[in-house]
A and B are shown apart, each in its own frame.
Chain A
Amino acid sequence: MTQLQRQASVTAADWRKDFPILEQSVNGQALVYLDSAASAQQPLAVIDAVASYHREDHANVHRGVHTLSHRATDAYEAARDKIRDFINATNRTEIVLTSGTTESINLVAQSYCRPRVGPGDKILITHLEHHANIVPWQLVCEQTGAELLVAPIDDRGQLELEALWSLMTEEVFMLAVGHVSNALGTINPVREIIAQAKERGIPVLVDGAQGVPHMPIDVQDLDCDFYAFSGHKMFGPTGTGILYGRESLLDEMPPYQGGGDMILEVSFESTIYNELPYKFEAGTPNISGIIGLGAAIDYLQSIGMQRIADYERELHQYMVSELSKVDGMRFIGTAANKACVQSFLLDDIHSHDLGTILDHQGVAIRTGHHCAMPAMARFGISGTSRASLALYNNTDDVNRLIEALDKAKQVFG
Protein backbone atom coordinates (compact mmCIF):
# COMPACT_ATOMS: atom_id res chain seq x y z
CA MET A 1 0.00 0.00 0.00
CA THR A 2 1.41 3.38 -1.00
CA GLN A 3 1.31 6.31 1.34
CA LEU A 4 -1.51 7.82 -0.71
CA GLN A 5 -3.63 4.70 -0.59
CA ARG A 6 -3.17 4.60 3.17
CA GLN A 7 -4.14 8.20 3.45
CA ALA A 8 -7.07 7.66 1.10
CA SER A 9 -8.36 4.76 3.10
CA VAL A 10 -8.21 6.67 6.35
CA THR A 11 -8.94 10.36 5.91
CA ALA A 12 -10.85 10.58 2.63
CA ALA A 13 -12.96 7.59 3.56
CA ASP A 14 -14.08 9.50 6.61
CA TRP A 15 -14.77 12.70 4.69
CA ARG A 16 -16.64 10.81 2.02
CA LYS A 17 -19.10 9.51 4.61
CA ASP A 18 -20.10 13.11 5.30
CA PHE A 19 -21.64 13.40 1.81
CA PRO A 20 -24.86 11.38 1.65
CA ILE A 21 -25.39 11.95 -2.08
CA LEU A 22 -22.31 9.88 -2.85
CA GLU A 23 -23.92 6.77 -1.36
CA GLN A 24 -26.01 5.95 -4.39
CA SER A 25 -25.93 3.97 -7.58
CA VAL A 26 -26.19 5.60 -10.97
CA ASN A 27 -27.06 3.37 -13.90
CA GLY A 28 -26.57 0.36 -11.68
CA GLN A 29 -23.09 1.26 -10.45
CA ALA A 30 -21.80 3.10 -7.40
CA LEU A 31 -21.63 6.79 -8.21
CA VAL A 32 -18.19 8.24 -8.91
CA TYR A 33 -18.52 12.02 -8.85
CA LEU A 34 -15.71 13.75 -10.73
CA ASP A 35 -17.43 17.04 -11.52
CA SER A 36 -16.84 19.10 -8.39
CA ALA A 37 -15.31 21.93 -10.41
CA ALA A 38 -18.79 22.46 -11.88
CA SER A 39 -20.54 22.11 -8.54
CA ALA A 40 -19.37 20.40 -5.37
CA GLN A 41 -21.62 18.17 -3.29
CA GLN A 42 -22.81 19.21 0.16
CA PRO A 43 -21.89 17.55 3.43
CA LEU A 44 -24.68 16.54 5.78
CA ALA A 45 -23.73 19.46 8.04
CA VAL A 46 -24.73 21.90 5.30
CA ILE A 47 -27.91 20.05 4.37
CA ASP A 48 -28.91 19.93 8.04
CA ALA A 49 -28.10 23.59 8.68
CA VAL A 50 -30.35 24.67 5.81
CA ALA A 51 -33.15 22.29 6.83
CA SER A 52 -32.95 23.27 10.47
CA TYR A 53 -33.07 26.96 9.55
CA HIS A 54 -36.23 26.36 7.52
CA ARG A 55 -37.72 24.20 10.24
CA GLU A 56 -37.00 26.49 13.16
CA ASP A 57 -35.64 29.95 12.42
CA HIS A 58 -36.86 31.34 9.12
CA ALA A 59 -37.95 34.96 8.87
CA ASN A 60 -36.73 37.94 6.89
CA VAL A 61 -33.43 39.47 7.98
CA HIS A 62 -32.63 43.00 9.15
CA ARG A 63 -36.30 43.90 9.46
CA GLY A 64 -38.36 42.46 12.22
CA VAL A 65 -38.34 43.00 15.95
CA HIS A 66 -39.71 39.52 16.52
CA THR A 67 -37.72 36.55 17.69
CA LEU A 68 -37.49 34.61 14.44
CA SER A 69 -36.28 37.66 12.56
CA HIS A 70 -33.56 38.08 15.17
CA ARG A 71 -32.53 34.46 14.89
CA ALA A 72 -32.44 34.60 11.10
CA THR A 73 -30.45 37.83 11.14
CA ASP A 74 -27.99 36.48 13.70
CA ALA A 75 -27.38 33.28 11.74
CA TYR A 76 -27.06 35.18 8.46
CA GLU A 77 -24.61 37.70 9.87
CA ALA A 78 -22.69 34.96 11.67
CA ALA A 79 -22.10 33.40 8.25
CA ARG A 80 -20.66 36.71 7.06
CA ASP A 81 -18.23 36.64 9.96
CA LYS A 82 -17.22 33.08 9.12
CA ILE A 83 -16.53 34.13 5.54
CA ARG A 84 -14.46 37.10 6.70
CA ASP A 85 -12.41 34.84 8.92
CA PHE A 86 -12.12 32.16 6.21
CA ILE A 87 -10.44 34.49 3.70
CA ASN A 88 -8.84 36.69 6.38
CA ALA A 89 -10.49 39.94 5.30
CA THR A 90 -9.79 42.89 7.58
CA ASN A 91 -13.37 43.81 8.19
CA ARG A 92 -16.83 42.26 7.85
CA THR A 93 -17.90 45.34 5.88
CA GLU A 94 -15.72 44.03 3.07
CA ILE A 95 -17.82 40.89 2.63
CA VAL A 96 -20.65 41.52 0.17
CA LEU A 97 -23.04 38.59 -0.19
CA THR A 98 -24.21 37.88 -3.73
CA SER A 99 -25.81 35.11 -5.73
CA GLY A 100 -22.49 33.77 -7.02
CA THR A 101 -19.16 34.58 -8.61
CA THR A 102 -20.96 35.82 -11.70
CA GLU A 103 -22.91 38.45 -9.81
CA SER A 104 -19.84 39.42 -7.80
CA ILE A 105 -17.88 40.14 -10.99
CA ASN A 106 -20.79 41.95 -12.61
CA LEU A 107 -21.08 44.10 -9.51
CA VAL A 108 -17.46 45.23 -9.82
CA ALA A 109 -17.76 45.70 -13.57
CA GLN A 110 -20.89 47.83 -13.29
CA SER A 111 -20.32 49.66 -10.04
CA TYR A 112 -16.56 50.10 -9.94
CA CYS A 113 -15.54 50.20 -13.61
CA ARG A 114 -18.46 51.51 -15.57
CA PRO A 115 -18.62 54.98 -13.98
CA ARG A 116 -14.86 55.40 -14.22
CA VAL A 117 -13.80 54.17 -17.65
CA GLY A 118 -14.25 55.52 -21.16
CA PRO A 119 -12.70 55.46 -24.61
CA GLY A 120 -8.94 55.00 -24.38
CA ASP A 121 -9.15 52.97 -21.18
CA LYS A 122 -8.40 49.28 -21.19
CA ILE A 123 -9.57 46.36 -19.12
CA LEU A 124 -7.16 43.46 -19.00
CA ILE A 125 -8.17 39.80 -18.66
CA THR A 126 -6.48 36.55 -19.67
CA HIS A 127 -7.05 33.83 -22.22
CA LEU A 128 -7.76 31.36 -19.40
CA GLU A 129 -10.91 33.02 -18.12
CA HIS A 130 -14.31 31.40 -18.06
CA HIS A 131 -17.26 33.29 -19.48
CA ALA A 132 -18.18 34.85 -16.13
CA ASN A 133 -14.85 36.69 -16.13
CA ILE A 134 -15.06 37.71 -19.80
CA VAL A 135 -18.60 38.80 -20.63
CA PRO A 136 -19.13 41.28 -17.74
CA TRP A 137 -16.04 43.17 -18.94
CA GLN A 138 -17.16 43.02 -22.55
CA LEU A 139 -20.43 44.60 -21.45
CA VAL A 140 -18.59 47.43 -19.71
CA CYS A 141 -16.47 47.95 -22.79
CA GLU A 142 -19.58 48.15 -24.98
CA GLN A 143 -21.18 50.57 -22.55
CA THR A 144 -18.19 52.88 -22.17
CA GLY A 145 -16.02 52.55 -25.26
CA ALA A 146 -13.20 51.02 -23.25
CA GLU A 147 -11.15 48.24 -24.82
CA LEU A 148 -10.74 44.64 -23.65
CA LEU A 149 -7.19 43.28 -23.65
CA VAL A 150 -6.45 39.57 -23.35
CA ALA A 151 -3.16 38.26 -21.96
CA PRO A 152 -1.91 35.16 -23.81
CA ILE A 153 -1.25 31.64 -22.51
CA ASP A 154 1.32 29.11 -23.62
CA ASP A 155 0.79 25.59 -24.96
CA ARG A 156 0.68 24.17 -21.44
CA GLY A 157 -2.11 26.52 -20.45
CA GLN A 158 0.03 28.86 -18.37
CA LEU A 159 -0.10 32.63 -18.47
CA GLU A 160 2.77 34.17 -20.42
CA LEU A 161 3.88 36.44 -17.61
CA GLU A 162 6.28 38.63 -19.58
CA ALA A 163 3.51 39.34 -22.07
CA LEU A 164 1.14 40.04 -19.20
CA TRP A 165 3.56 42.56 -17.67
CA SER A 166 3.97 44.29 -20.99
CA LEU A 167 0.20 44.59 -21.38
CA MET A 168 -0.02 46.35 -18.01
CA THR A 169 0.29 49.83 -19.46
CA GLU A 170 -0.92 53.15 -18.09
CA GLU A 171 -4.17 52.84 -20.02
CA VAL A 172 -5.15 49.69 -18.13
CA PHE A 173 -7.82 50.60 -15.63
CA MET A 174 -8.37 47.16 -14.18
CA LEU A 175 -7.02 43.62 -14.28
CA ALA A 176 -9.36 40.65 -13.81
CA VAL A 177 -7.69 37.26 -13.49
CA GLY A 178 -8.80 33.81 -12.40
CA HIS A 179 -7.04 32.25 -9.44
CA VAL A 180 -7.42 28.77 -10.90
CA SER A 181 -8.56 27.94 -14.44
CA ASN A 182 -11.75 25.88 -14.36
CA ALA A 183 -11.11 24.29 -17.74
CA LEU A 184 -7.41 23.52 -17.43
CA GLY A 185 -6.70 23.60 -13.70
CA THR A 186 -3.82 26.05 -14.02
CA ILE A 187 -3.08 27.82 -10.74
CA ASN A 188 -2.05 31.33 -11.66
CA PRO A 189 0.67 33.06 -9.63
CA VAL A 190 -1.85 35.66 -8.48
CA ARG A 191 0.29 37.01 -5.67
CA GLU A 192 3.07 37.88 -8.10
CA ILE A 193 0.56 39.21 -10.65
CA ILE A 194 -1.08 41.43 -8.04
CA ALA A 195 2.32 42.74 -6.91
CA GLN A 196 3.19 43.67 -10.50
CA ALA A 197 -0.19 45.34 -10.96
CA LYS A 198 0.21 47.29 -7.71
CA GLU A 199 3.52 48.67 -8.90
CA ARG A 200 1.68 50.10 -11.86
CA GLY A 201 -1.31 51.25 -9.84
CA ILE A 202 -3.75 48.82 -11.50
CA PRO A 203 -6.54 47.44 -9.30
CA VAL A 204 -7.00 43.67 -9.47
CA LEU A 205 -10.06 41.46 -9.26
CA VAL A 206 -9.32 37.80 -8.64
CA ASP A 207 -11.95 35.30 -9.74
CA GLY A 208 -11.53 32.75 -6.99
CA ALA A 209 -14.40 30.39 -7.83
CA GLN A 210 -11.98 27.51 -8.37
CA GLY A 211 -9.41 28.63 -5.82
CA VAL A 212 -11.33 28.85 -2.57
CA PRO A 213 -12.45 25.19 -2.40
CA HIS A 214 -8.93 23.84 -2.71
CA MET A 215 -6.43 26.00 -0.82
CA PRO A 216 -6.16 28.46 2.05
CA ILE A 217 -7.02 31.98 0.87
CA ASP A 218 -5.76 35.12 2.58
CA VAL A 219 -6.93 38.25 0.79
CA GLN A 220 -4.64 40.47 2.86
CA ASP A 221 -1.63 38.40 1.97
CA LEU A 222 -2.67 38.39 -1.70
CA ASP A 223 -3.25 42.14 -1.45
CA CYS A 224 -6.01 41.95 -4.09
CA ASP A 225 -8.66 44.65 -4.40
CA PHE A 226 -11.54 42.30 -5.14
CA TYR A 227 -11.91 38.55 -4.70
CA ALA A 228 -15.04 36.87 -6.08
CA PHE A 229 -16.19 33.33 -5.33
CA SER A 230 -19.20 31.02 -5.13
CA GLY A 231 -20.70 28.98 -2.31
CA HIS A 232 -21.65 25.94 -4.35
CA LYS A 233 -18.11 25.20 -5.44
CA MET A 234 -17.03 25.05 -1.80
CA PHE A 235 -19.65 22.53 -0.68
CA GLY A 236 -22.30 25.15 0.10
CA PRO A 237 -25.69 25.78 -1.52
CA THR A 238 -26.15 27.16 -5.04
CA GLY A 239 -27.24 30.77 -5.37
CA THR A 240 -24.67 32.00 -2.87
CA GLY A 241 -21.62 34.06 -3.65
CA ILE A 242 -19.19 36.45 -2.12
CA LEU A 243 -17.52 39.60 -3.23
CA TYR A 244 -14.61 40.59 -1.06
CA GLY A 245 -13.75 44.22 -1.76
CA ARG A 246 -11.23 46.52 -0.19
CA GLU A 247 -13.25 48.83 2.02
CA SER A 248 -11.83 52.04 0.59
CA LEU A 249 -12.93 50.96 -2.90
CA LEU A 250 -16.36 49.67 -1.89
CA ASP A 251 -16.94 52.96 -0.10
CA GLU A 252 -16.47 54.96 -3.29
CA MET A 253 -18.70 52.72 -5.38
CA PRO A 254 -22.35 53.51 -6.07
CA PRO A 255 -24.95 50.83 -5.33
CA TYR A 256 -25.24 48.08 -7.91
CA GLN A 257 -28.95 47.48 -7.53
CA GLY A 258 -31.66 49.45 -5.77
CA GLY A 259 -34.21 48.03 -3.39
CA GLY A 260 -34.90 47.22 0.20
CA ASP A 261 -32.13 46.59 2.71
CA MET A 262 -29.63 48.78 0.84
CA ILE A 263 -31.13 52.04 2.10
CA LEU A 264 -31.19 54.07 5.28
CA GLU A 265 -33.94 56.46 4.28
CA VAL A 266 -36.11 56.71 1.19
CA SER A 267 -38.22 59.59 0.00
CA PHE A 268 -39.27 60.40 -3.54
CA GLU A 269 -36.79 63.27 -3.57
CA SER A 270 -33.73 61.31 -2.49
CA THR A 271 -32.52 58.15 -0.89
CA ILE A 272 -29.73 57.70 1.61
CA TYR A 273 -27.88 54.47 1.01
CA ASN A 274 -27.10 52.02 3.73
CA GLU A 275 -23.58 51.51 4.99
CA LEU A 276 -21.22 48.75 3.84
CA PRO A 277 -21.74 45.99 3.02
CA TYR A 278 -25.55 46.41 2.91
CA LYS A 279 -25.31 49.13 0.27
CA PHE A 280 -24.71 46.31 -2.23
CA GLU A 281 -27.32 43.88 -0.91
CA ALA A 282 -30.66 45.02 -2.27
CA GLY A 283 -33.72 42.94 -1.54
CA THR A 284 -34.21 39.86 0.57
CA PRO A 285 -31.05 37.79 0.25
CA ASN A 286 -30.58 34.02 -0.04
CA ILE A 287 -30.74 33.66 3.74
CA SER A 288 -30.84 29.88 4.00
CA GLY A 289 -28.15 29.51 1.35
CA ILE A 290 -25.77 31.85 3.14
CA ILE A 291 -26.41 30.05 6.43
CA GLY A 292 -25.63 26.79 4.63
CA LEU A 293 -22.46 28.38 3.30
CA GLY A 294 -21.50 29.26 6.86
CA ALA A 295 -21.92 25.58 7.76
CA ALA A 296 -19.75 24.62 4.76
CA ILE A 297 -16.99 26.89 6.05
CA ASP A 298 -17.25 25.33 9.51
CA TYR A 299 -16.93 21.95 7.85
CA LEU A 300 -13.89 22.93 5.79
CA GLN A 301 -12.20 24.54 8.77
CA SER A 302 -12.80 21.49 10.92
CA ILE A 303 -10.62 19.59 8.44
CA GLY A 304 -8.23 22.41 7.57
CA MET A 305 -7.68 23.87 4.11
CA GLN A 306 -4.00 22.99 4.06
CA ARG A 307 -4.80 19.37 4.84
CA ILE A 308 -7.36 19.36 2.03
CA ALA A 309 -4.85 20.92 -0.37
CA ASP A 310 -2.20 18.35 0.53
CA TYR A 311 -4.58 15.43 0.12
CA GLU A 312 -5.92 16.70 -3.19
CA ARG A 313 -2.43 17.31 -4.57
CA GLU A 314 -1.47 13.69 -3.99
CA LEU A 315 -4.74 12.37 -5.38
CA HIS A 316 -4.38 14.61 -8.42
CA GLN A 317 -0.90 13.26 -9.04
CA TYR A 318 -2.28 9.75 -8.86
CA MET A 319 -5.06 10.60 -11.33
CA VAL A 320 -2.68 12.25 -13.79
CA SER A 321 -0.29 9.34 -13.57
CA GLU A 322 -3.05 6.76 -14.16
CA LEU A 323 -4.65 8.75 -16.98
CA SER A 324 -1.31 9.15 -18.72
CA LYS A 325 -1.06 5.35 -18.97
CA VAL A 326 -4.27 5.17 -21.02
CA ASP A 327 -3.52 4.56 -24.69
CA GLY A 328 -4.69 7.45 -26.89
CA MET A 329 -4.78 9.96 -24.02
CA ARG A 330 -4.03 13.60 -24.77
CA PHE A 331 -3.92 16.09 -21.90
CA ILE A 332 -5.15 19.63 -22.42
CA GLY A 333 -3.60 21.80 -19.73
CA THR A 334 -0.28 20.64 -18.38
CA ALA A 335 0.76 23.62 -16.27
CA ALA A 336 3.49 23.08 -13.72
CA ASN A 337 1.23 24.29 -10.93
CA LYS A 338 -2.24 22.79 -11.14
CA ALA A 339 -5.33 22.30 -9.05
CA CYS A 340 -7.02 18.91 -8.91
CA VAL A 341 -8.47 19.03 -12.41
CA GLN A 342 -7.45 17.25 -15.58
CA SER A 343 -8.86 18.03 -19.01
CA PHE A 344 -8.24 15.49 -21.71
CA LEU A 345 -9.14 14.04 -25.09
CA LEU A 346 -9.24 10.29 -25.70
CA ASP A 347 -8.44 9.07 -29.21
CA ASP A 348 -10.84 10.91 -31.51
CA ILE A 349 -13.85 10.27 -29.29
CA HIS A 350 -15.96 13.40 -28.91
CA SER A 351 -16.23 14.48 -25.29
CA HIS A 352 -20.02 14.16 -25.26
CA ASP A 353 -19.84 10.58 -26.42
CA LEU A 354 -17.27 9.92 -23.73
CA GLY A 355 -19.45 11.64 -21.13
CA THR A 356 -22.41 9.42 -22.03
CA ILE A 357 -20.39 6.22 -21.89
CA LEU A 358 -18.86 7.17 -18.54
CA ASP A 359 -22.20 8.17 -17.08
CA HIS A 360 -23.51 4.81 -18.18
CA GLN A 361 -20.96 3.31 -15.82
CA GLY A 362 -21.82 5.64 -12.97
CA VAL A 363 -18.89 8.01 -13.56
CA ALA A 364 -19.81 11.71 -13.72
CA ILE A 365 -17.41 14.00 -15.55
CA ARG A 366 -17.84 17.34 -17.28
CA THR A 367 -17.71 17.45 -21.05
CA GLY A 368 -17.73 20.27 -23.55
CA HIS A 369 -16.31 23.77 -23.48
CA HIS A 370 -16.50 24.32 -19.68
CA CYS A 371 -17.88 27.82 -20.24
CA ALA A 372 -14.42 28.77 -21.46
CA MET A 373 -14.78 28.77 -25.25
CA PRO A 374 -11.78 31.07 -25.90
CA ALA A 375 -9.49 28.81 -23.86
CA MET A 376 -10.70 25.83 -25.90
CA ALA A 377 -10.18 27.76 -29.13
CA ARG A 378 -6.60 28.47 -28.03
CA PHE A 379 -5.95 24.73 -28.29
CA GLY A 380 -7.88 24.42 -31.55
CA ILE A 381 -10.57 22.25 -29.99
CA SER A 382 -14.25 22.72 -29.22
CA GLY A 383 -14.18 20.98 -25.87
CA THR A 384 -12.62 18.40 -23.60
CA SER A 385 -13.55 15.85 -21.02
CA ARG A 386 -12.68 17.04 -17.55
CA ALA A 387 -12.30 15.05 -14.36
CA SER A 388 -12.17 17.22 -11.25
CA LEU A 389 -11.47 16.00 -7.73
CA ALA A 390 -12.57 17.13 -4.31
CA LEU A 391 -11.81 16.07 -0.77
CA TYR A 392 -14.38 13.25 -0.93
CA ASN A 393 -12.74 11.51 -3.89
CA ASN A 394 -10.23 8.70 -3.51
CA THR A 395 -8.02 6.36 -5.52
CA ASP A 396 -10.96 3.99 -6.10
CA ASP A 397 -12.74 6.81 -7.96
CA VAL A 398 -9.70 7.29 -10.16
CA ASN A 399 -9.51 3.55 -10.84
CA ARG A 400 -13.20 3.50 -11.81
CA LEU A 401 -12.55 6.40 -14.19
CA ILE A 402 -9.77 4.47 -15.87
CA GLU A 403 -11.96 1.36 -16.20
CA ALA A 404 -14.75 3.45 -17.69
CA LEU A 405 -12.34 4.97 -20.22
CA ASP A 406 -11.24 1.48 -21.22
CA LYS A 407 -14.89 0.62 -21.80
CA ALA A 408 -15.32 3.70 -24.00
CA LYS A 409 -12.38 2.55 -26.09
CA GLN A 410 -14.12 -0.81 -26.51
CA VAL A 411 -17.39 0.77 -27.61
CA PHE A 412 -15.57 2.89 -30.14
CA GLY A 413 -13.11 0.12 -30.93
Chain B
Amino acid sequence: MTGRVAQTDDLYDLYRELILDHARSPRHFGRMDNATHTAQGINPLCGDKLKMYVRIDDNERIEATAFEGSGCAISVASASLLTDAVIGLSVDEAEAVFSVVTTRLTREGHDNELDIGGKNSLRFEKLKALDGVREFPSRVKCATLAWHALHSALSNENKPASTE
Protein backbone atom coordinates (compact mmCIF):
# COMPACT_ATOMS: atom_id res chain seq x y z
CA MET B 1 0.00 0.00 0.00
CA THR B 2 1.28 3.41 -0.90
CA GLY B 3 0.00 6.86 -0.16
CA ARG B 4 -1.05 8.52 2.93
CA VAL B 5 -3.77 7.07 5.12
CA ALA B 6 -6.60 9.53 5.59
CA GLN B 7 -7.11 10.35 9.25
CA THR B 8 -10.30 11.11 11.11
CA ASP B 9 -9.11 14.71 11.40
CA ASP B 10 -9.12 14.90 7.62
CA LEU B 11 -12.82 14.06 7.64
CA TYR B 12 -13.63 16.91 9.99
CA ASP B 13 -11.30 19.11 7.96
CA LEU B 14 -13.34 18.30 4.85
CA TYR B 15 -16.70 18.74 6.53
CA ARG B 16 -15.76 21.69 8.72
CA GLU B 17 -18.51 23.82 10.20
CA LEU B 18 -18.29 26.56 7.57
CA ILE B 19 -18.77 24.00 4.77
CA LEU B 20 -21.74 22.37 6.49
CA ASP B 21 -23.25 25.79 7.16
CA HIS B 22 -23.01 26.82 3.51
CA ALA B 23 -24.27 23.41 2.38
CA ARG B 24 -27.32 23.65 4.61
CA SER B 25 -28.04 27.32 3.94
CA PRO B 26 -26.48 28.20 0.61
CA ARG B 27 -26.12 31.94 -0.05
CA HIS B 28 -27.49 33.54 -3.21
CA PHE B 29 -29.40 30.37 -3.97
CA GLY B 30 -32.00 30.55 -6.71
CA ARG B 31 -32.62 31.82 -10.18
CA MET B 32 -31.51 35.26 -11.33
CA ASP B 33 -33.70 36.73 -14.05
CA ASN B 34 -31.50 39.64 -15.07
CA ALA B 35 -28.16 37.85 -15.26
CA THR B 36 -25.79 39.00 -17.96
CA HIS B 37 -23.78 35.78 -17.92
CA THR B 38 -24.87 32.22 -17.10
CA ALA B 39 -23.45 28.74 -17.45
CA GLN B 40 -24.29 25.23 -16.39
CA GLY B 41 -21.86 23.03 -14.56
CA ILE B 42 -22.17 19.27 -14.90
CA ASN B 43 -20.30 16.59 -13.03
CA PRO B 44 -20.87 13.50 -15.18
CA LEU B 45 -19.48 11.25 -12.46
CA CYS B 46 -22.39 11.87 -10.13
CA GLY B 47 -24.86 13.64 -12.40
CA ASP B 48 -24.83 16.74 -10.23
CA LYS B 49 -25.81 19.88 -12.09
CA LEU B 50 -25.79 23.51 -11.14
CA LYS B 51 -26.41 26.76 -12.92
CA MET B 52 -24.34 29.84 -12.19
CA TYR B 53 -25.74 33.34 -12.75
CA VAL B 54 -23.62 36.47 -12.86
CA ARG B 55 -24.64 40.10 -13.45
CA ILE B 56 -21.83 42.30 -14.70
CA ASP B 57 -22.19 46.10 -14.67
CA ASP B 58 -20.98 48.63 -17.22
CA ASN B 59 -17.60 48.82 -15.52
CA GLU B 60 -16.97 45.11 -16.00
CA ARG B 61 -17.53 44.45 -12.31
CA ILE B 62 -19.55 41.58 -10.87
CA GLU B 63 -22.60 43.20 -9.40
CA ALA B 64 -24.53 40.10 -8.36
CA THR B 65 -24.26 36.33 -8.35
CA ALA B 66 -26.62 33.43 -7.85
CA PHE B 67 -26.74 29.70 -8.40
CA GLU B 68 -29.26 26.91 -8.42
CA GLY B 69 -29.07 23.15 -8.65
CA SER B 70 -28.42 20.20 -6.42
CA GLY B 71 -25.32 18.48 -5.27
CA CYS B 72 -23.30 17.11 -2.41
CA ALA B 73 -22.31 19.22 0.58
CA ILE B 74 -18.93 20.02 -0.96
CA SER B 75 -20.27 21.23 -4.31
CA VAL B 76 -23.12 23.27 -2.82
CA ALA B 77 -20.87 24.84 -0.18
CA SER B 78 -18.26 25.65 -2.78
CA ALA B 79 -20.84 27.30 -5.02
CA SER B 80 -22.23 29.24 -2.09
CA LEU B 81 -18.78 30.45 -1.00
CA LEU B 82 -18.04 31.40 -4.58
CA THR B 83 -21.13 33.58 -4.89
CA ASP B 84 -20.11 35.46 -1.75
CA ALA B 85 -16.49 35.80 -2.74
CA VAL B 86 -16.65 37.23 -6.23
CA ILE B 87 -19.24 39.99 -5.81
CA GLY B 88 -17.58 43.34 -6.40
CA LEU B 89 -14.60 41.88 -8.25
CA SER B 90 -13.72 42.81 -11.79
CA VAL B 91 -14.07 40.04 -14.35
CA ASP B 92 -10.31 39.70 -14.52
CA GLU B 93 -10.03 39.44 -10.75
CA ALA B 94 -12.76 36.79 -10.65
CA GLU B 95 -10.91 34.82 -13.32
CA ALA B 96 -7.78 35.06 -11.19
CA VAL B 97 -9.66 33.74 -8.17
CA PHE B 98 -10.99 30.88 -10.30
CA SER B 99 -7.47 30.03 -11.32
CA VAL B 100 -6.02 30.15 -7.81
CA VAL B 101 -8.89 28.28 -6.14
CA THR B 102 -8.92 25.43 -8.65
CA THR B 103 -5.17 24.91 -8.34
CA ARG B 104 -5.17 25.31 -4.56
CA LEU B 105 -7.49 22.33 -4.26
CA THR B 106 -4.89 19.96 -5.60
CA ARG B 107 -2.00 18.83 -3.46
CA GLU B 108 0.43 20.23 -6.00
CA GLY B 109 -1.09 23.70 -6.01
CA HIS B 110 -1.62 24.18 -2.30
CA ASP B 111 1.02 26.92 -2.06
CA ASN B 112 -0.90 29.28 -4.31
CA GLU B 113 -1.96 32.22 -2.21
CA LEU B 114 -5.31 33.91 -2.42
CA ASP B 115 -4.20 37.53 -2.59
CA ILE B 116 -5.97 38.66 -5.70
CA GLY B 117 -5.36 42.34 -6.45
CA GLY B 118 -4.30 42.98 -2.89
CA LYS B 119 -7.76 41.93 -1.77
CA ASN B 120 -6.67 39.25 0.68
CA SER B 121 -9.74 39.92 2.72
CA LEU B 122 -12.00 37.83 4.84
CA ARG B 123 -13.95 36.76 1.79
CA PHE B 124 -10.92 34.88 0.47
CA GLU B 125 -10.09 33.53 3.90
CA LYS B 126 -13.39 31.68 3.83
CA LEU B 127 -12.45 29.96 0.57
CA LYS B 128 -9.68 28.24 2.48
CA ALA B 129 -12.42 26.15 4.07
CA LEU B 130 -12.39 24.20 0.82
CA ASP B 131 -8.77 23.17 1.34
CA GLY B 132 -9.82 20.00 3.20
CA VAL B 133 -10.77 18.46 -0.13
CA ARG B 134 -7.07 18.08 -1.00
CA GLU B 135 -6.85 14.88 1.00
CA PHE B 136 -9.86 13.47 -0.90
CA PRO B 137 -8.85 13.42 -4.56
CA SER B 138 -12.15 11.86 -5.62
CA ARG B 139 -13.97 14.92 -4.31
CA VAL B 140 -11.89 17.68 -5.90
CA LYS B 141 -14.30 17.81 -8.82
CA CYS B 142 -17.20 18.42 -6.46
CA ALA B 143 -15.39 21.46 -5.08
CA THR B 144 -14.40 22.87 -8.47
CA LEU B 145 -17.71 22.38 -10.30
CA ALA B 146 -19.12 25.82 -9.47
CA TRP B 147 -15.81 27.49 -10.29
CA HIS B 148 -15.70 25.92 -13.72
CA ALA B 149 -19.27 27.09 -14.29
CA LEU B 150 -18.25 30.62 -13.25
CA HIS B 151 -15.29 30.53 -15.60
CA SER B 152 -17.51 29.31 -18.40
CA ALA B 153 -20.08 32.03 -17.71
CA LEU B 154 -17.47 34.79 -17.63
CA SER B 155 -15.84 33.57 -20.83
CA ASN B 156 -19.22 33.57 -22.55
CA GLU B 157 -18.45 30.08 -23.75
CA ASN B 158 -22.13 29.35 -23.85
CA LYS B 159 -21.63 25.66 -23.22
CA PRO B 160 -22.00 23.65 -20.06
CA ALA B 161 -18.83 23.42 -17.99
CA SER B 162 -17.89 19.86 -17.23
CA THR B 163 -15.54 18.63 -14.56
CA GLU B 164 -14.28 15.99 -16.98
Contact = CB atoms under 8 A, between A and B. Distances in A.
A383 B10 CA distance: 25
Contact of A368 (B1, B45, B70, B74): B45
A119 to B, nearest CB: 32
A28 B10 CA distance: 13
Nearest to B6: A27
A356 B138 contact: yes
A360 B47 contact: no
Interface in A354-409: 356-357, 360, 367-369, 373, 376, 382-383
B72 interface: yes
B5 A383 contact: no
B65 to A, nearest CB: 22
A27 B45 CA distance: 23
A268 interface: no
Given A24-B1, A369-B46, A383-B46, A350 B20 contact: no
A353 B5 contact: no
Contacts of A367: 46
Nearest to A27: B6
Contacts of B18: none
B47 A382 contact: yes
A335 B46 CA distance: 25
Contacts of B47: 368-369, 373, 376, 382-383
Contacts of B70: 382
A266 interface: no
Contact of B73 (A24, A353, A368): A353
A376 B47 CA distance: 11
Contacts of A24: 1
A382 B15 contact: no
Nearest to A411: B15
A382 B49 CA distance: 10
A352 B11 contact: no
Size band of the interface chain B makes with A: 20 to 34
Nearest to A350: B72
Interface string B116-140: 0000000000000000000010110
Contacts of B10: 360
A411 B11 contact: yes
B6 A360 contact: yes
Interface string B1-40: 1000111101110110000100000000000000000000
A249 B1 CA distance: 49
B137 to A, nearest CB: 11
B14 A356 contact: yes
Contacts of A356: 11, 14, 136, 138-139
Contacts of B46: 351-352, 367-369, 382-383
B6 A350 contact: no
Nearest to B73: A353
A25 B5 CA distance: 10
Given A353-B73, A383-B47, A412 B15 contact: yes
Interface string B35-56: 0000000000111100000000
B64 interface: no
A25 B46 CA distance: 26
B11 A357 contact: yes
B20 A412 contact: yes
Given A352-B46, A369-B46, A369-B47, A360 B74 contact: no
Nearest to A24: B1
B160 interface: no
Given A367-B46, A383-B47, A360 B11 contact: yes
A25 B1 CA distance: 9
B142 interface: yes
B88 interface: no
A134 to B, nearest CB: 15
A376 to B, nearest CB: 8
B18 to A, nearest CB: 14
Q: Which of B45, B47, B71 has the most CB of A within 10 A?
A: B47
Interface of B: 1, 5-8, 10-12, 14-15, 20, 45-48, 70-74, 136, 138-139, 142
Given A367-B46, A376-B47, 19 more contacts: A27-B5, A28-B7, A350-B72, A350-B73, A351-B72, A352-B72, A352-B74, A352-B139, A356-B11, A356-B14, A368-B46, A369-B46, A373-B47, A382-B46, A382-B48, A411-B11, A411-B15, A412-B15, A412-B20
